[in-house]
Amino acid sequence: MKKLLFLAIMALGTLTVSAADKTVDTLVVTTTPVMHCEGCENKIKSNIRFVKGTKKITTSVPDQTVTIIYNNNKATYEDFVAAFKKIGYEIEKK
């Protein structure tokens, strides 16, 4: 019985630690120059996905937003500013 209780506590502790390692954050930005076509969206998606920790990128031309879901233990806002600058865009948090 003690062994079973010990294993249960260890399993719970492992799950808690692994959940704490996955710190996910959402960043919503607008771009300058503005996105005006599917080509702009594809350029952003295909380049920004290489920023370490990026999980998902969603773009919206009508709303003029780029939504990035990322691990904030691996990337910062400044990392995204630099990545957008490399492809000719400036960003501002929305």
pLDDT tens digits along 37-56 = 999 999 999 999 999 999 99
Mean pLDDT to the nearest integer, 48-67: 97
Contacts of 32 (CB under 8 A, 6+ apart): 89, 90, 91, 92
- Token look-up 């249960």 returns 8
Confidence (pTM): 0.76
State both tokens at 3. Answer: 């062994």
The neighbour count for residue 13, using CB atoms within 10 Å, is 10
How far is residue 77 CA from its own chain's centroid?
10
